[in-house]
Amino acid sequence: MTARVWPVDAVTGAPSYTGRALRQTQVAPLVAGATTARPLGSLSGVRPGTASNIVTATGTTWTVTPFAGIIDGEALAIAGPYQYAFDANVTGSVTAAAGSARVDRLDVQVSDPAESDGSSVPSIAIVKNDGAPGSGVPVAAPARSHALAYINVPASGGGSPTITWVAPYVSAPGGLLYCNTFSQLPATANLADKCQAYDTGFVYRWNGSAWKPWESDWNSYTATLVNFTIGTGGAALNSTDYRWDLGRLRIRFRLYQGTSGQSVGAGITVTIPSGVTLRTPSTANLFIDGGATLFDVGVAVYKGWVRYNSTDTDKFAILSNAATVNGSQTITSTVPWTWGAGDGIEGELIADVV
């Protein structure tokens, strides 16, 4: 074992520093990502703020403009991560299009002969590997690398290539990790309270065993309505949207009857976004924290309630309290009024999820 501290003055030749030693001593304050398997390692990727359009391609040439990052690519767990930078454009040739489309890949690859990785010269390089025509997927990443972008090459005569940005991002310890897709989130996280964000507007939080949505922008979704048929005509206001608010699911909805084929049945329910499960309350009819307003067009406005739909965990129910001050009643085609064209319900709820 060799223990080193950095920076200190050398006295009688000690300490001495190798490239590996400097990488090991500098990683702690710079970047997150240490794991049980790689306690001296880090996340690999580009700096946050690196634009996704730094990679471009024509039918003959790909170009990458200047950028910087960190790569933990060598096999040994004690090798430590490498900082790198490209301060000028890097270019290469795009292989001619074939009879079928293919997906080529660009990766950042480190080479360090001192780590016995089979290379002969220390270097950092952008390497391209062509995909198989017609496969629709890129080949496996090369050793000692992290992904940068995919070059989507259409079949011959199909136009110019396009770019898919797939580079992971690094972050400082305790900071947000920005990911292009959910799949880029680490399989596990050592920091239970660490939040991770990715570019579709969602923030995820590690709860000790899994990533759970924490915050997000508003997102529209297609809800399944039971006993509320919108029909056609005059229903442009209808929408269902959701967002995550400190780990809870928030939904807002606008449901208006059309002018033809509309109907209301006994017991209106609305599904929540796919893949989300409401936490079942101890009391089946416990209200969700939310409510609704019912509009009898040109006549009256009524208060409504939103609650868990019995033991169903993929939908919520909407009720009216027109008949009583504090109670609720099931909405039907004639309750709290005889429903007709243009009548509607608007509301919002927030609920715990599993």
Report the distance separating Cα 226 and Cα 270, nearest Å: 6
CA angle 201, 287, 228 (to 5 degrees): 75
Q: Which CATH number goes with the domain that contains 257?
A: 2.60.40
My answer on whether 241 and 328 are in the same domain is: yes
43: which residues sit within 8 A by CB, 6+ positions away?
A: 31, 32, 33, 70, 72, 168, 170, 171, 177, 186
Is 124 part of any domain? yes
Is 203 part of any domain? no
Question: CB–CB of 194/186 below 8 Å?
Answer: no
Is 186 part of any domain? no
User: What pTM was computed for the model?
Assistant: 0.74
**Domain span holding position 138:** 45-166
Is 233 part of any domain? yes
Q: State the pLDDT at residue 113.
A: 93
User: How many Å from the N-terminal Cα to the C-terminal Cα in the chain?
Assistant: 46
Question: CB–CB of 338/233 below 8 Å?
Answer: no
Give 152-191 pLDDT, tens digit per residue.
999 999 999 999 999 999 888 777 788 888 888 877 665 5
Question: CB–CB of 121/115 below 8 Å?
Answer: no
Q: 176 versus 297: which is more confidently predicted?
A: 297
Considering only CA atoms, which of 354, 349, 351, 352 is closest in space to residue 251?
A: 349
The number of distinct structural domains making up the chain is 2
Is 50 part of any domain? yes
My answer on whether 152 and 224 are in the same domain is: no
Q: Is the pLDDT of residue 230 over 60?
A: yes
Give 126-159 pLDDT, tens digit per residue.
999 999 999 999 999 999 999 999 999 999 999 9
My answer on whether 52 and 161 are in the same domain is: yes
